[in-house]
Amino acid sequence: MNFIPAFLLALAVDLVDISGTSHFSARIKNTVSTIPVDDLSPGLYFLRIVFDGRMVQVKKVVVGR
């Protein structure tokens, strides 16, 4: 049986490029998650972390080849 803390059920992420276009969105279901970047063009992206419908943090992500 897997136990997922209740706060994780309300946690989501959104990966957007500099123009605001979303390239990946997901609800977090584990304490460790992987975001696929193989199909993204090299450049600067922002990972928006959302809790209970409100953005709580933004992290810069640089994709290079």
* All domains of the chain in start order, with CATH: 6-63 (2.60.40)
Q: pTM for this structure?
A: 0.76
Length of the chain (residues): 65
Q: What mean pLDDT value characterizes the chain? A: 84
Low-confidence stretches of the chain (pLDDT beneath 50) = none
State the pLDDT at residue 35.
Answer: 86
Identify the CA nearest to 11 among candidates 48, 60, 61. 48
Determine the 3-state secondary structure of 10 from DSSP. Answer: helix
The pLDDT score that the predictor gives to residue 7 is 53
- Per-residue model confidence (pLDDT) at position 14: 93
